[in-house]
């Protein structure tokens, strides 16, 4: 703790001159074990707020974005020493000092462009039990582009429970036949997903778990997802989901379960959850400037279905880890898109991502 020592000394001297009441408050700050929390406490007492460096995200399809900081923390800790324990709290603004107010646009899931996205089995004739099989598109190529735009904003702070916030989010994911000149480079699939997410931070004493793990938060959400196409390519569903998140050092773990809401008898895809599953596990690793996550979607009743997805990123410029990052995504299983919900494939995508807003 080299960078923060002179500052702490000056703050302590100021506290002594300010009288016994402030000295007692400063002593309470000095007892905090974590550098960032201790400095934030001093700043609150003496009117010199230290901004928390914005975070850059690791993909987490469960709706929980795990993050790493852009550059240095207020105590001078470098990116490579910044643990995942700070990532979840800053991403979802779980502590009072992390709050950024309402209606501030932030990244939700990673924003990426993968110019090269190659699949083992392109779905040229999508089908569903109620809509049948669509006419085959013979010119579709197995190599296309994949892109995603995902943002969120907090719309309410301190809602119902202490520190609890309500977020609205929107994610759009597309597969683009950009290399397909025969069909004039059409967008093969575009999924739209708006959702409302209620986030409740876990109080510090309750969050302490064995083995150095910490329980950070619980989430409850409602989401709609559709591809906006007409029959026989129309796909959509509505669901509610609940998630909880934990971290320990360089690692973070997110557990999520969802339940589909009932729809009318002319449902476009009545068997969708039989392929996508009803549970997700996301494991994220932040070993340094690189980030990695593994997402497993499954249904315990149908273990042969579901999917696995691996995401990896590394900064293009190591001096600016919050900027553009090299991005690799590997997917295997069902449901890479709604149109492919019952289509099994393995795909690899290479490109760039911009995580941070």
Burial (Cβ within 10 Å: 0-12, 13-18, ≥19) of residue 129: exposed
Contacts of 48 (CB under 8 A, 6+ apart): 42
Q: Is 165 annotated as a binding residue?
A: no
Q: Is 268 annotated as a binding residue?
A: yes
* CA–CA separation, 318 and 330 (whole Å): 23
Provide the token pair at 166. Answer: 């309500």
Query: How do 236-248 and 214-226 pair as beta strands?
Result: antiparallel
Of the candidates 284, 293, 327, the residue with the CA atom closest to the CA atom of residue 148:
327
Helix, strand, coil abundance in the chain, percent, nearest 5: 15, 40, 40
CA distances from 174 to 129, 133, 144, 271 (A): 24, 21, 10, 22
285, 311 contact by CB (below 8 A): no
- Catalytic residue numbers? 224, 226
Phi, psi of 9 (to 5 degrees): -65, -45
- Maximal C-alpha separation, the chain: 81
Binding site feature residues for Ca(2+): 184, 234, 268
Binding site feature residues: 184, 234, 268
């Amino acid at each position: 703790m080299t960078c923060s020592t002179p500052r702490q000394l000056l703050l302590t001297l100021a506290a002594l001159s300010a009288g016994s009441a402030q000295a007692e408050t400063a002593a309470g700050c000095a007892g905090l074990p974590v550098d960032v929390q201790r400095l934030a406490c001093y700043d609150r007492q003496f009117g010199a707020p230290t901004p928390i460096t914005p975070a850059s995200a690791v993909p987490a399809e469960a709706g929980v974005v795990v993050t790493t900081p852009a550059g240095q923390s207020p105590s001078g800790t470098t990116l490579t020493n910044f643990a995942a324990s700070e990532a979840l709290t800053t991403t979802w603004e779980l502590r009072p000092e992390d709050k950024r107010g309402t209606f501030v646009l932030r990244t939700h899931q990673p924003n990426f462009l993968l110019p090269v996205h190659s699949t083992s089995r392109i779905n040229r004739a999508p089908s569903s039990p109620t809509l049948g099989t669509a006419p085959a598109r013979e010119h579709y190529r197995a190599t296309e582009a994949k892109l995603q735009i995902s943002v969120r904003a907090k719309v309410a702070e301190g809602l119902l429970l202490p520190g609890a916030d309500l977020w609205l989010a929107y994610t759009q994911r597309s597969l683009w036949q950009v290399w397909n000149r025969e069909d004039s480079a059409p967008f093969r699939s575009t999924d739209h997903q708006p959702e409302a997410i209620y986030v409740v931070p876990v109080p510090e004493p309750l969050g302490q778990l064995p083995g150095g793990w910490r329980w950070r938060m619980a989430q409850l959400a409602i989401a709609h997802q559709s591809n906006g196409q007409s029959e026989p390519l129309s796909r959509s569903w509505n669901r509610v989901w609940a998630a909880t998140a934990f971290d320990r050092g360089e690692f973070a773990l997110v557990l999520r379960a969802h339940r589909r809401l009932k729809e009318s008898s002319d449902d476009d895809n009545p068997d969708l959850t039989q392929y996508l599953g009803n549970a997700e596990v996301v494991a994220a690793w932040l070993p340094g400037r690189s980030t990695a996550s593994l997402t497993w979607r499954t249904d315990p009743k149908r273990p042969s279905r579901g999917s696995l997805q691996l995401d990896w990123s590394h900064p293009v410029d190591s001096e600016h880890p919050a900027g553009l990052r090299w991005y690799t995504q590997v997917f295997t299983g069902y449901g890479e898109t709604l149109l492919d919900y019952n289509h099994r494939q393995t795909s690899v995508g290479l490109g760039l991502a911009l995580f941070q807003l």
